[in-house]
Chain A
Amino acid sequence: MAAPGLPRPCRCEGVVTGNEPLGPGLLRLSVRLPLEPGFVPGQFAMLNLPAGRAWTFGRPLSILDWLAGEVSFLYRVVGRGTGELAGLKPGAAVTFLGPLGTPFPLDLGGRKAVLVAGGVGLPPLFAWRKQRPQDVAAAYFGARDQEDAPWPLLDSGWRVGLEDLGPSARGGARQGLVTDLLEEDFPADGTRDDCTVLACGPWPMLEAVHRQARRRGWPCWLSLEEHMGCGYGACKGCVVPVADGPDAWRPATCCQDGPVFDAAHLAWPQLERT
């Protein structure tokens, strides 16, 4: 069941209105839908090709934005599905199931958000910042290099860290990891104890951000990624270990119980083992 207060997911046919590259292998897909249930940042949709050409499972894509009947996504071409998605032209039909999953909290109880995004983990934090600009203390985006960053989405409000800065720094980007930038802006000396971290990106980044949040006594919410089957809790194909008592854990579904988890609820010993 969708938690109370979340929009009801719908399954419908959509029409591609845009599918433009924002960098090499990095694209923004826009789809016009007949329904507009809305979404909460952190939620995703399962996209698929129409009947007859559909993949066995849809592709889960985090929702970047939803404006006037048009929903958009940011994705990287990593395999067969995303490769075929990249070939869709405006006018092409897709099937949509969403919004799905447990999102980031919007109400942080008076705390300020430190947003940390890595690579194609940007959409939920982009959307969060757009919906709650007044509650953002800092926003970080990290990527491998300049070609790996969706520059059209990164206004001056994002501090950008690149592992390989290259010859010409763009958009005020800095050499280094997002966690270096966070360390610089928020020394772990107890001066800022009123923040909450919201993060989405590669696993090593999430682990590092979680450690930083703990050192500062900040709550931490992480959006996790797993291979998904159904996307709505039916198949138990995407599980994440969550704590279930002092030394016990149980499998939770990444698609329905997540993808956003309170880091304090995750079973870290099991996660680190995998």
Chain B
Amino acid sequence: MMPATPQWWRVDPLEPFQLGPRLIPGRIWTASGCFAYGLTGHEMTAPGFASPFAGLGAVVTKTVTPAARAGNPMPRLVETPCGALNSIGLENVGLDAFIRDVMPELEKRGVPFVASIAATCPEQFGEMARALQETGGGLRHWHGLELNLSCPNVAEGGHDFGKDPHTVAACVRAAREQVTDRALLAKLTPNVGDIAALAVAASGAGVDAVSAVNTFVGLEVDLATGEPILPRRFGGYSGPAILPLALAKVDEIVRKAGVPVVGVGGIATAEDALKFFALGAVAVQVGTAQMRDPFSAATIARRLHEIYLGNKRG
């Protein structure tokens, strides 16, 4: 049976919306780490689409750190029946190369983007934010800054770091001091007992929204060897399997923290996205589904736009 058309949906996902100090071009984004730096896939075609970027509100770029990182050894991915474990280990080009090479190219191509950064202490977040602001302040297509407070795959223990509300607040404050005219987001780990407390802390320190959620810690065993498949044992679990888990976390934040939420976790269809909007999310990010199909987010944006138009006429 086809699900009933959600007649309550009255928002055009292709319409710009205000998030803190910034007007964001649309509500369907791609999640960090799932669409590289927003420079891949431009040449791709699909029936009915000009490009995989059609209708995207923002690409959240792959997280960069102060220095380039080679990332974790292979294997880095494990597919499960309804999702995937990843242990990429924040492989990235580093902040300098991002500012020098990536940001101007995104600007040139007109890709709306939210930069994602990770650091090991609040001061470092502040320095990175300042560097971005100094060079990128004049860019039209740079819309926001997402603080990755929750990568599970690095030795420095991003998770523990992002689990403490005081540290989260300190990181947000340091970035907010530097970046005042772009949307500031904190991406939260779901691997805590009280995610709303993290959201409250981030909100009090000045974020415009929290992105919820990052991946869940998971592990898969190779039965042939009896050992974990991933060299670092644990990975970040994502994909359709985590949709209800992510929805529960978002609901908790919306009800207890009162801060705008960008929903992320397990979205593969327009209906999945609508569930986050139903709970009060202001935008959503498409992650693992974008890895399967570069047109996933564009397809979701189009479908939600059609539903919006249908309800408007009706």
Where the two chains meet, the residues of A that have a C-beta atom closer than 8 Å to any C-beta of B are 1-2, 8-12, 34-35, 48, 51, 54-58, 95, 97, 226-230, 232-239, 249-251, 256, 274
Which parts of B224-251 form the interface with A (CB within 8 Å)? 239-240
The answer to whether B47 touches A57, judged by C-beta atoms less than 8 angstroms apart, is no
Residue A10 contacts which of B45, B79, B291 (CB distance < 8 angstroms)? Answer: B45
For A35, what are the chain B residues with a Cβ–Cβ distance below 8 Å? 45, 47
Instruction: Given A11-B293, A56-B239, A235-B34, decide whether A226 and B88 contact each other with a Cβ distance below 8 A.
Output: no
* 9 closest residue pairs by CB, A with B: A230-B291, A237-B77, A11-B46, A233-B40, A234-B36, A10-B45, A56-B84, A229-B77, A235-B291
The answer to the question of B70 belonging to the interface, with a C-beta cut-off of 8 Å to chain A, is yes
For A239, what are the chain B residues with a Cβ–Cβ distance below 8 Å? 71, 74, 76, 91
The answer to whether B76 touches A48, judged by C-beta atoms less than 8 angstroms apart, is no
Q: Which residue of B lies closest to A248 (CB)?
A: B70
Instruction: Given A11-B293, A11-B294, decide whether A234 and B75 contact each other with a Cβ distance below 8 A.
Output: no
For B33, what are the chain A residues with a Cβ–Cβ distance below 8 Å? 235-236
Interface size class of B (residues with CB under 8 A): 35 or more
Task: Looking at the assembled complex, report how far the CB atom of B240 sits from the nearest CB atom of chain A, in whole angstroms.
Answer: 8
Q: Which residue of B lies closest to A52 (CB)?
A: B269
The answer to whether A251 touches B70, judged by C-beta atoms less than 8 angstroms apart, is yes
Q: Which residue of A lies closest to B30 (CB)?
A: A234
For A11, what are the chain B residues with a Cβ–Cβ distance below 8 Å? 44-46, 293-295
Q: Which residue of B lies closest to A100 (CB)?
A: B44
For A10, what are the chain B residues with a Cβ–Cβ distance below 8 Å? 44-46
Instruction: Given A58-B292, A235-B34, A251-B70, decide whether A8 and B77 contact each other with a Cβ distance below 8 A.
Output: no
A230 to B288 CA separation, bound complex (whole angstroms):
9
The answer to the question of B157 belonging to the interface, with a C-beta cut-off of 8 Å to chain A, is no
The answer to whether B43 touches A236, judged by C-beta atoms less than 8 angstroms apart, is no
Which parts of B1-58 form the interface with A (CB within 8 Å)? 33-36, 39-47
Given A55-B292, A237-B77, 13 extra CB contacts under 8 A: A11-B44, A11-B293, A12-B47, A56-B288, A228-B77, A229-B86, A230-B34, A230-B294, A236-B76, A236-B91, A239-B76, A256-B40, A274-B73
The answer to the question of B155 belonging to the interface, with a C-beta cut-off of 8 Å to chain A, is no
The answer to whether B239 touches A236, judged by C-beta atoms less than 8 angstroms apart, is no
A11 to B50 CA separation, bound complex (whole angstroms):
12
The answer to whether A236 touches B294, judged by C-beta atoms less than 8 angstroms apart, is no
A157 to B83 CA separation, bound complex (whole angstroms):
44
The answer to whether B77 touches A57, judged by C-beta atoms less than 8 angstroms apart, is yes
A57 to B78 CA separation, bound complex (whole angstroms):
10
A208 to B222 CA separation, bound complex (whole angstroms):
29
Task: Looking at the assembled complex, report how far the CB atom of B61 sits from the nearest CB atom of chain A, in whole angstroms.
Answer: 11
Instruction: Given A1-B39, A10-B45, decide whether A56 and B76 contact each other with a Cβ distance below 8 A.
Output: no
The answer to whether B43 touches A251, judged by C-beta atoms less than 8 angstroms apart, is no
The answer to whether B292 touches A54, judged by C-beta atoms less than 8 angstroms apart, is yes
For A233, what are the chain B residues with a Cβ–Cβ distance below 8 Å? 36, 40-41
Task: Looking at the assembled complex, report how far the CB atom of B109 sits from the nearest CB atom of chain A, in whole angstroms.
Answer: 11
Instruction: Given A56-B80, A56-B83, A227-B77, decide whether A48 and B294 contact each other with a Cβ distance below 8 A.
Output: no
- Some 27 contacts from A to B, beta carbons below 8 A apart, are A1-B43, A9-B45, A11-B46, A12-B46, A35-B45, A48-B292, A56-B79, A57-B79, A57-B292, A97-B294, A227-B74, A227-B77, A228-B77, A232-B294, A234-B34, A234-B290, A234-B291, A235-B88, A236-B62, A236-B71, A236-B76, A237-B76, A238-B74, A238-B76, A249-B70, A250-B70, A251-B70
For B40, what are the chain A residues with a Cβ–Cβ distance below 8 Å? 1, 232-234, 256
The answer to the question of B223 belonging to the interface, with a C-beta cut-off of 8 Å to chain A, is no
A237 to B78 CA separation, bound complex (whole angstroms):
10
Q: Which residue of B lies closest to A254 (CB)?
A: B74
A235 to B235 CA separation, bound complex (whole angstroms):
14
Task: Looking at the assembled complex, report how far the CB atom of B297 sits from the nearest CB atom of chain A, in whole angstroms.
Answer: 11
Instruction: Given A1-B43, A9-B44, decide whether A229 and B84 contact each other with a Cβ distance below 8 A.
Output: yes
Task: Looking at the assembled complex, report how far the CB atom of B142 sits from the nearest CB atom of chain A, in whole angstroms.
Answer: 20
Q: Which residue of A lies closest to B239 (CB)?
A: A56
Residue B43 contacts which of A9, A58, A235, A238 (CB distance < 8 angstroms)? Answer: A9
For A8, what are the chain B residues with a Cβ–Cβ distance below 8 Å? 43-45
Most chain B C-beta atoms within 10 Å of own C-beta, residue among A8, A237, A250: A237
Task: Looking at the assembled complex, report how far the CB atom of B83 sits from the nearest CB atom of chain A, in whole angstroms.
Answer: 6
For A229, what are the chain B residues with a Cβ–Cβ distance below 8 Å? 76-77, 84, 86, 291
Task: Looking at the assembled complex, report how far the CB atom of A272 sits from the nearest CB atom of chain B, in whole angstroms.
Answer: 14
Instruction: Given A1-B40, A236-B62, A239-B74, decide whether A56 and B82 contact each other with a Cβ distance below 8 A.
Output: yes
Instruction: Given A48-B292, A56-B239, decide whether A232 and B71 contact each other with a Cβ distance below 8 A.
Output: no
Most chain A C-beta atoms within 10 Å of own C-beta, residue among B46, B47, B88, B291: B291
For A249, what are the chain B residues with a Cβ–Cβ distance below 8 Å? 70
A220 to B131 CA separation, bound complex (whole angstroms):
43
A235 to B76 CA separation, bound complex (whole angstroms):
10
A232 to B71 CA separation, bound complex (whole angstroms):
18
Q: Which residue of A lies closest to B35 (CB)?
A: A234
Q: Which residue of A lies closest to B91 (CB)?
A: A236
Q: Which residue of A lies closest to B45 (CB)?
A: A10
A225 to B292 CA separation, bound complex (whole angstroms):
18
Q: Which residue of B lies closest to A240 (CB)?
A: B74
Q: Which residue of B lies closest to A11 (CB)?
A: B46
A103 to B41 CA separation, bound complex (whole angstroms):
17
For B70, what are the chain A residues with a Cβ–Cβ distance below 8 Å? 249-251
A11 to B88 CA separation, bound complex (whole angstroms):
25
